[in-house]
Chains A and B, each alone.
Chain A
Amino acid sequence: MSFFSEERASELKDLFFESATELLQALNEEGLDLEKHPGDPEVVRQVRRTVHTLKGDSAACGYTELSALAHELEDALTPELAKQHGVKVAEVVLSAADTFQNMLNAYRANTPAPTGDRVFAAIHALIRKPALVPSPNAVSGIVTESAPAKPRFEWSEYEKMVMTDAVSRGLKVLQLALTIDPNCVVRVVALQMIKTAFSDLGTVLVVVPEEGSPLDKVEVITAALASSFDEEYIARKCKIPAVISEVFVERYTAPAAEAASTNGAGGAQHAEEDALNLAPEQNVPHQEPISEADSFSTSSLSTAPESTLRVDAERIDAVLNLVGELIIGKSMLTQTINEFDKKFAKDPLRAKFADALAYQARVLTDLQKSVMKVRMVPVEQLFRRFPRVVRDVSKACGKEVHLEVHGQATDLDKSILDVLAEPMAHLVRNAIGHGIESPEERLAAGKLKIGTIKLDAYHQGNNIVIEVSDDGRGIDRQKVLAKAIERGIVTQEETARMTDGEALNLIFHPGLSTAEEITSVSGRGVGMDIVKSVLERLKGSVVIDSKVGQGSTFYLKVPLTLAIIKALMFRVVDRMYAVPLGSVMEITRAMETEIHRVDQHEVIKLRDQVLTLVRLNRLANSTSKQKKIFIVVIAVNDRKFGLVVDKLIGEEELVIKALDDHLVATELVSGASILGDGTVVLILNVNSVVARLGRSNISDDLRAGASA
């Protein structure tokens, strides 16, 4: 890559990493495919193609370890080999994919790449028995470059005769010595190129070495041509770049004595025959059949012109950010027009304003939707990595698991999708490790021998729900509780009062794993808490539904997008807050006198349910004792809480502006937004607010956040 400037090189490398990641994904899929259909020549070809492209790209970037391994793999992968070894080939392909991934990671981090020794060994083990691969690329020995200043032509008697004869017929005969470029590894090609070049120049009398003879050790090709072109032109035409490094051309002058002694007619005939024979000879097939190339092309022939655009995610973020600003602008306008309305209630301009505003609002909504759409990618991108995970984990656990996938077409914001990959992998690993029973257990329980893991994705209001479910043994409430007590996470008394949901939620507690023994794939006790924290960071939630003996389902609920939310705004004391509309169940009013105190919690009876209240104004020294209060009922996971607020403002689309971590030291606020009139609204993180329920410092933290 020395040819490119640093900047260009790094740009290319970025592109390389991007496309390599896609190639690896494809390779994984193809590997699994190969496992399912061992020896299917079409699949083998696909794998080969993918590896081939990977090889080419990595070599161009100078990543030699990767390209060497890819080369080896590509070379070894033949339909015959796949037929012979069946599933073993898929195994090698998949482990190679892993090694490629490791290498990529290392390249990206600028650390030395791991060696692919293990994979090399595996490949060699496969190809050793049948000596299929001639490995023609290993340039044997060192090809000396120093060509003799004036090569000696050592023609055989017959060749001399042919040449002398041509001279005697008045033709200009030239003898050539062409030194093959030491970098040209494909000698067969070199010979072909030379012959093509010769055919444009004149009649070929002699070529040494002859067609079909081994070329590996040939350094110089000698030839005799009958040509009307001058030496200089021929030399130029024969100096084929990348093939021939040196050319020596000399006019052949037959020794007079010999010329006289030859019997003219016979020689001429020979020469002609020779010239004629050469052409068909070129078509003599080479050692390996070329038919492979033909069979490639007979596959599907549907053409798909490329209309996809690759855009840096940052650029889209920038556009979305601008759309956000526009939305703020829109609410500014609305507000101004509202004021105008009040002031000039009879002005005919009002209607015009209203029309213009409605039109602008509609276009803006469309714009926002289209930009969001750009960021959306089908969940399939996330799901497609799971066949591999399921395969690996179920193999490691000795279980038989079938993966079922639904709702791949559901769109989700790319940034959310990327973050979800890890927690989902945790859940799937756990489901196989803990959930699905061993085949014997399953048969004993009267279930199908093969367990099922199901992935599903669908819309639910402003959210996307991703389900990870298994038909395994389910989560045993008693086991979870026992473990939690043993670890000192909860006390005996507390467990007695816990609902099933709360008990199950304990598995998200750091350091709790119900696995009897710890395996390599699951049961380390970390992971479930990570799942929960990731979901909370995404302003989503995770809910468990489990029936002993029938399996468990995890519902991961995430917002459609992180950039804009529909929110309910309200006022507490003199500050504006907002909560995502999705978490609001209902709004109700109550009298102060209806509030009861239970266990230091304020509760209220809403219809037949007891609702715990959260007062945001606690410790805010608000002495204003309103008789009637507003209660915003919010749902967190599967529990409900009531937020006591002073005044409801209304619902609005808020553009979330991330708050710098340094400015806001509280997790209670997940972001802020600016309203049309310039007011700042804090968007509450309902999960944390409720988690702090009962503690007295909520308002302290909020005030810290607000003053920032």
Chain B
Amino acid sequence: MEQFAVLIRSKDRQPIRYLVVDDSVFARKNVTKMIEAFGGKVAGEAGDGLTAITEYDRAQPDIVLMDITMPQMEGIEAAERIIRQHSDARVIMVSSVGYQENIVAALQKGAKHFVQKPVKAEVLYEVIKYVMGEDAVAVEGAAAGDSK
């Protein structure tokens, strides 16, 4: 079982806030558990692109984890709209293999990174650390992860 050093925001040393967007309840829960293991906080959830946009406005998260394939509005469009409104938004696309063109499109539209399903905690952790860059610090020694 892996342990993760808790990642916190450097500016106020508060937990990083996430918006998790996926139409699968299961996938959301899965990612949420990982986020919590990193010491993060889920500020909002959305099951489709439109909700994601309003949730972003409401929750003002540090990071958006955005699924690509969703009803109502696809993840890419939602990501694009969020980035257009908030140029500092950090959107990480989450998708399965076979959608590389979509990922490229999302990256060109300003998404910061991507992870592939099935999401691996280690990978997600590194990606978040990378995307947050200077804005996050890892606090060593803090008990993180849900493993014993």
Contacts and interface: CB of A to CB of B under 8 A. Distances in A.
Interface of A: 2-5, 8, 12, 15-16, 19, 48-49, 52-53, 55-57, 59-60, 62, 67, 71, 74-75, 136-137, 185-189, 192-193, 196, 239-242, 282-283, 286-290, 292-294, 296-297, 299-303, 305-306, 310
B115 interface: yes
B69 A57 contact: no
B96 A55 contact: yes
A309 to B, nearest CB: 11
B48 to A, nearest CB: 7
Contact of B72 (A12, A290, A300): A300
A49 B129 contact: no
**Most A Cβ at <10 Å: residue of B51, B71, B115, B122:** B71
A288 B105 CA distance: 11
Contact of A56 (B1, B27, B73, B107): B27
B26 A15 contact: yes
User: Which size class do B's interface residues fall under?
Assistant: 35 or more
Interface of B: 1-2, 23-27, 29-30, 33-34, 37, 47-51, 54, 67-74, 76-77, 96-98, 100-105, 107-108, 113-123, 126-127, 129-130, 146-148
Contacts of A4: 33, 146-147
A19 B26 CA distance: 7
Contacts of A67: 118
Nearest to B111: A196
Contact of A60 (B30, B100, B129): B30
Nearest to A305: B51
Given A192-B108, A293-B76, A303-B48, A53 B146 contact: no
Contacts of B69: 48-49, 52-53, 296
B77 A186 contact: no
A536 to B, nearest CB: 38
B103 A241 contact: no
B40 to A, nearest CB: 15
Nearest to A20: B26
Contact of B100 (A52, A136, A296, A305): A136
B103 to A, nearest CB: 5
A242 B102 contact: no
6 contacts: A57-B24, A286-B101, A289-B101, A294-B74, A305-B51, A306-B47
A288 B26 contact: no
Given A19-B24, A60-B30, A193-B113, A293 B100 contact: no
B103 A8 contact: no
Contacts of A301: 50, 72-73
Nearest to B67: A56
